[in-house]
Structure 1
């Protein structure tokens, strides 16, 4: 059975802690991302730049975080979701397979939260796969509207016969989003939840990989030790296999 691996990780902009205790974790995150050995890595809360942090941290990378975190031989794709006073942040995808196309759509539901989706088509093991990276809103009603927008986007932009993955931070503490995704034949590891939040004492799975045209054969959440320090989320690693014709 031919498989491939996908990771999704909210990296909390590469910085952890509050006030004077705030610390730079982007270098540790770089080692972590390399350890995934994943074919596709989906990242949320990624910065291309932040002037305040660049002044504060002596070792702030000169590269944008997507390029900085990409292991050797990977292609990075990044799009901004939110503009802030000192910088910006968005979603990224790192791929060891060729990138065919990329696009972005604004998913902001109200003026207090700037959100977006990143859509990348890849050639994985000689097959075309579409990947959508999302980071949904904090309000339940916003998430419902964003999922409806996502469904419209998929029906418009992703061929129905193509394998599809939707990965990211869904911010859903219940089962509403999973039910809505199942309604369009996108499924996750709902039978065996893998808690990813909060990282120091994971209680709920906010991070998911939803799949259509491929099926999930295994999940893993690295935890303990440094994994609880690098971000407020833990990464989710998913192994997928092609559906047989």
Structure 2
């Protein structure tokens, strides 16, 4: 098991810590040299000490990998990764020959309700969004976990569908978080979300927020956008322990409620 270090410190009582992490289905490598990282990811997720953890590429089940790895967890990965005292919410985006995977949310705060919306743009990529309503300090807060497509045109259309979903399902005055893997190498999605009132913490040195590829990050694919919360800062944990577990690094952002 790896050891993990972060620079995350203590927080004020009105500070909300939100993490987003593409966990690459708990397995790294290919073919016979692939290795199971889900147990290390469990320790890493707990180390983040986040109030809300948004996860992408989370396995519900995978029959072939469960046979290949002797220590494959008996639980779905979202439940396995949830630290003690957290609730886990998972919904499937993609059904494959051997199993299912999708988005998940782990939370210290009570879950009021949740739903899933299919935002697949073509038959080669199954994509969805997970919407969870939480009660945080007596306040309803909406969190949407996304994993957008690889094709630029698909991402634009998926952002339009996200906007329509928000207009339909999220009250205008409610705090809103949209977090996940946006797969966007430019600024287009950021500009589109800003037009919808969603913003993220603007780091003075943007390269510090790079999350991909994990071993030598050169771009920020993972984001936490908010409406109705004050961004305070962000951090990307780094080091060999982190880049061995997934092709992405986690992004951790803090906000004032």
Contact persistence 2:203–2:233 (CA under 8 A): no
Q: Distance in 2 between matches of 1:67 and 1:170?
A: 24
Q: Which residue in the other structure is 2:64 paired with?
A: 52
Q: Which residue in the other structure is 1:215 paired with?
A: 230
1:92-131 pair list within 5 angstroms:
92-131=104-143
Normalised by the size of structure 2, how large is the TM-score?
0.93
Partner of 1:197, secondary structure, is coil
The count of residues paired between Structure 1 and Structure 2 equals 242
Deviation at 1:189, TM superposition (A): 2.7
Q: Which residue in the other structure is 2:90 paired with?
A: 78
Normalised by the size of structure 1, how large is the TM-score?
0.97
In the TM superposition, what whole-angstrom CA distance separates every residue of 1:199-227 from its partner, at most 9, and x where no partner exists?
00011000000000002101010011210
Partner of 2:70, secondary structure, is coil
Deviation at 1:170, TM superposition (A): 0.0
Deviation at 1:191, TM superposition (A): 4.3
Q: Which residue in the other structure is 2:256 paired with?
A: 241
Q: Distance in 1 between matches of 2:55 and 2:69?
A: 22
Q: Distance in 2 between matches of 1:149 and 1:191?
A: 28
CA RMSD in angstroms, aligned pairs only: 0.8
Q: Distance in 1 between matches of 2:201 and 2:127?
A: 25
Deviation at 1:190, TM superposition (A): 4.0
In the TM superposition, what whole-angstrom CA distance separates every residue of 1:117-148 from its partner, at most 9, and x where no partner exists?
00000011221100000000000000000000
Aligned equivalent of 2:27, options 15, 18, 21 = 15
